[in-house]
Structure formats: structure tokens, C-alpha cells
A and B are shown apart, each in its own frame.
Chain A
């Protein structure tokens, strides 16, 4: 059996440690300069009234208290959580569904898979522009289809009740393909002979899927849920592009947490508030990441 680099003995030599320092220097500088220092500064500024032009003055927990008393801030949180909930569930389900459907070899399925993946490489700005046209209530393609079916046109981006769904559509358009390819890759790891054995034992398709296939897919499922959750927590680009001059429109229904953070910093120059929002995002994301690692570790056992 050949030994891989990971599994060999723990013997370490001092010389390699010295080399490692050199190889890690650029990255180490980056971590210190652009991760550790910014995080520390954000924490400090979150307790000050910093507005870019003044000397920061200590204000204790005022910024945090102000934020939680601010209805727009709370709205940005519920918006983000709503889109995360729906987006993660629908995106994962569609990705898994299309992977199961298209887990075949053959020219047609390969082409279908490529076409579903293709939107993943379209720049978010271009995505936002094109979908603004598709979702338009007057000349949009989607409403033309709806009208053909006798349904009333919907302002997918202009009606506060629907704008989140319009936004989710364009995000899912780009992300389903990526989720799909991870599931397809995992499905190829399902051993053929186990499936045959299961079918010989008279296990139905659903039964086979639940007890044989699903355990193999579970780590990938977890990965996709975490990646998607973290994506929606920092959701910014498409939400920015659909209303660049009036962020979060209509009626703040698409104002995500990251957009509001951006507004606090660069529109209102309230760096203290923005820093407090950064800290909160950092803490919540860290908790999500930690939970992910904990679950992952437990499943490996």
C-alpha cells in the first residue's frame, strides 16, 4: 500500500518548520493585515461613534442598542432570514432533484447538465440586468407566459410582496447547477453492486434511496446547506444590481443585511453602526461554521 502525504508518521523536522514559515509568509501577512486587524478594528469601532471624519469616541453599546431599535435593521434581518430559508430549501431540493434525474451517462443528459450549470458562470451583474427584463410586469417574458395561461401579471421586482421571490429566482438560476454537480459527483460514488444487491433484496426505489443512497449524499447535503446559508447571510450582488439607485426597493422588501451594512457605511457614513453590524455578522457566521464542523465531525465517527 502506498503511503499518502497525509497519513505518514508524525515525525517533524526543524528544518521543514523553518521552510514552512517562508512559504506561509505572504498568506500570513494577508491574514494579519486584512483579517485580524480589520476584525479587531471593527470590534473597537462598533463601540464608538466613528463617522469617517471624527476622532472615534467611546459610546459603549449604543450602536448595538440603536440597531436593535431600528425597524429597518430588523427588516433587513427578517428579509435575509426569509430568503435564506426559502433559497436554501428550494435550491438544495432543485439541485438534488435534477442530480437524481440527470445522473446518467449519455449525450443528452450531459448536455442538459451543462446547460443547467451554465448560469453559474454568468456574472451577477449581467444576471441582474437580464432578469430585470425577464421579470418586468409590462414587457417581461415571465409575465407574458403567465398572461398566456390567463394569470394576472406580477411585479416580480416592483411589488413588495413578490420582490423577494423575483430576487430568489435569479439567484437560484445561478446556483442550482452548482448544487447539482456536487450531488452528481456524490451519486457517482454510490457503489453499483450495493444498488444491485438492494434491488435483488426486493427493496423499492424509495427504500433504496433512503437507506443506501442518502447516507452517501449526507455530507454533500450538509456542505450545500452550509455554503448556501453563508451565501444568503452575505447576499449582496444581485440585490444591489436590481435597484442600484434605491437599494432594497420596493419598500425595503429586498434590503438584505449586507445591503444595509453597506448603506450604513457608505451612504450614511455611520461607521460605528456598520462596524457593529460587521461584528454581529462575524459572530453569527462563526457560529454557523462551528456548528457545521461539529456536525461534520460527529458524522465522520
Chain B
């Protein structure tokens, strides 16, 4: 029991602690705010630059606010380069990459997570290894193989690789997709499958009718990660596409920078247009992005 005296003696200390907590919370908020602002500034700078006149973009000292809203930059940006072709190529590559990744990686993950066969763990070691394999280590021989097959100078290398589970970017890869899908499928209750087996369902039927509906969250995560990384991919397209008319938007922007270096505001407008679809996707499915980023780290 607390006597009145003890309670009185404690009050100032508690008061002090509460005040210290409040100060700490305020500092925490201030640092958090400053950090978040610092990370947001480059994006604001890109958008604001895309609305400036070209003189204002390179004004010294920099102008924080645009000199009027030059929306015409956007119209000019998409005609200055072959924006329509580039964005179409990016879209084609992205659609094929998603389709290919799902078609190649879902069955593979199923074989690793659910089916029982000799050498499963050892084979899965290959997945783990290729998850971390640096693309530059294989890009030159890959290029030469595609060249031998006459595929350089077309979109084909980018369209084919996902279907054989070899889509690789620094951010995401088919191997990581297999890994994430396998993790998810492996923790589903086995009774589900046992029961379906007793009912005489084939293994394909178990995958399609029982497991895939349950795996929706991880399928969405993998789809989003694949979409993001193929939309923004740079090294693969740089090496495999040698024809300017085949450029994806990543490459188009980069060439734009090196060739038409005078139109900075248009470059920023084109970059903004490039980022917008990704931002929309991010706002719509933020939890899938973060779960995609964490699921490799957290078991």
C-alpha cells in the first residue's frame, strides 16, 4: 500500500519524468520530421524543376519556387524524344516480365515448398546462390550467347529471360521471387494438402485451386516487386538493346541526358513522367513494397 506521504514524495519525480518523456518525444518528432523532409526534397526538386523555364532550372542561386508553372514542358518533353515508343517498350517488357516471373517461379516454388523429392534442399541451394549472384559477373557471356542467337537488337532477351526464371536486377530477381513464394507456401498448414490428396486431387489442382488463392498476398508482393524492378531496370536493357528505337524509358532518359543536354527542364519533366506510375503503385500498395523489402530479411 502506498501511504499518502510516499505518494506526495513521488509526485515531483513522476512529474519530472513525464516532462522528460515529453521533451524526448518532441525531439524524436523533430528529428523524424527533418529526416523525412530531407528524403522528400529531391522528389520535390524534380517536380518543381519540371515546371520551371530552362533558365530557372540552372539559375544560381537556385530558385526554390518555379517561375510560373510551365506545364508546356510536359508536352515538349514527350515530343522532344520518342517518348511514346520508349514507354511502350517499357510497358511491353514489364508485362512480359511479370507474366514470365509468375509462370516460371510459382511452379518452382511449389516444387521446393510442397513436393517431396530427393535433392530438394541441395537444388534449393542453387536458388539461394543465384539470389545473390551479381549480374555484372554473367552479363558479358549472357550478351555473347544472345548475340550468337541473333537476339541482340531486339527486345527478345528481355522478354525471354523471365520465362526461364532468369530475370535479374540489382533490386529484385526471379530467384528472390522463388525464395519469397517458397517461404510463404511452406508455412501453410499441411492438412490442407493431405485432405486434397485423399480426395484424389492432382498436384497441379492442389496448387491452382487450394494454394494459390491462399497465396494472394505474396503473389501481389512478387508482382509489384517485379513490375517495379522491370520498369526501372537499366543494366539489362543497356546491354541487350542496341537499337535506339527499342529503348525502354530508362535508356531513353539516359540518352536524352547525354545528347540533348541543353533542355534540363524537359529532362526533369520526362523523369517526373517516368516516376509517376511508380509513385501511384507505391501509394496504392505500400504495404506490399515494404513486405517485399523485409521478407528476405525476416523469417
Contact = CB atoms under 8 A, between A and B. Distances in A.
Interface string B82-126: 000000000000000000000111011011011111101001001
A199 interface: no
Interface string A37-74: 11101100100000010000000000000000000000
A23 B110 contact: yes
A125 B250 contact: yes
A22 B132 CA distance: 25
Interface stretch (A1-9, A155-163, A190-198, A207-215): A1-9
A23 B40 contact: no
B45 A134 contact: yes
A167 interface: no
A278 B191 contact: no
B290 A181 contact: yes
Interface stretch (B3-11, B12-20, B59-67, B71-79): B59-67
A119 interface: yes
A36 B235 CA distance: 20
A34 B145 contact: yes
Contacts of A292: 132
Contacts of A131: 42
B232 A124 contact: yes
Interface residues of B, number: 103
A38 B134 contact: no
Given A130-B42, A131-B42, A122 B278 contact: yes
B297 A182 contact: yes
A16 B234 contact: no
Interface in A1-39: 2-6, 8, 10-13, 16-17, 19-20, 22-24, 26-27, 29-31, 33-35, 37-39
B254 interface: yes
A34 B166 contact: yes
Given A23-B108, A245-B258, A285-B132, A125 B140 contact: no
A60 to B, nearest CB: 20
Contacts of A101: 28, 31-32, 35
Contacts of A233: 134
A281 B136 contact: yes
Interface in B1-58: 28-29, 31-33, 35-37, 39-43, 45-46, 49, 57-58
A201 to B, nearest CB: 18
B135 interface: yes
Interface of A is mostly: helix
A241 interface: yes
Contacts of B179: none
B136 A26 contact: no
B39 A119 contact: yes
A27 B253 contact: no
A133 B272 CA distance: 14
Nearest to A257: B136
B209 to A, nearest CB: 16
B33 A258 contact: no
Contact of A34 (B111, B128, B142, B297): B142
B140 A42 contact: yes
Contact of B253 (A126, A274, A285): A126
A229 B188 CA distance: 33
Given A4-B189, A116-B36, A133-B45, A223 B297 contact: yes
B221 interface: no
B282 A234 contact: no
A227 B234 CA distance: 19
Nearest to B127: A27
A127 B141 CA distance: 29
Contacts of A79: none
Contact of A139 (B58, B115, B128, B258): B58
Nearest to B143: A265
Contact of B161 (A5, A30, A41, A265): A30
B135 A234 contact: yes
B170 interface: yes
B22 to A, nearest CB: 14
B150 to A, nearest CB: 15
A31 B145 contact: no
A3 B31 contact: no
B257 A112 contact: no
Contacts of A274: 140
Contact of B136 (A12, A16, A219, A234): A234
Given A5-B190, A45-B141, A186-B298, A26 B61 contact: no
B154 interface: no
6 contacts: A23-B111, A29-B164, A38-B141, A104-B28, A139-B58, A279-B137
Interface of A: 2-6, 8, 10-13, 16-17, 19-20, 22-24, 26-27, 29-31, 33-35, 37-39, 41-42, 45, 52, 98, 101-102, 104, 108-109, 111-112, 114-131, 133-134, 138-141, 144, 147, 173, 176-178, 181-182, 184-186, 189, 219-220, 223-224, 226-227, 230-231, 233-234, 236-237, 240-241, 244-245, 257-258, 261-262, 265-266, 271, 274-275, 278-279, 281-282, 285-286, 289, 292-293
Given A125-B250, A176-B39, 7 more contacts: A4-B186, A16-B117, A27-B108, A42-B140, A101-B31, A112-B33, A141-B45
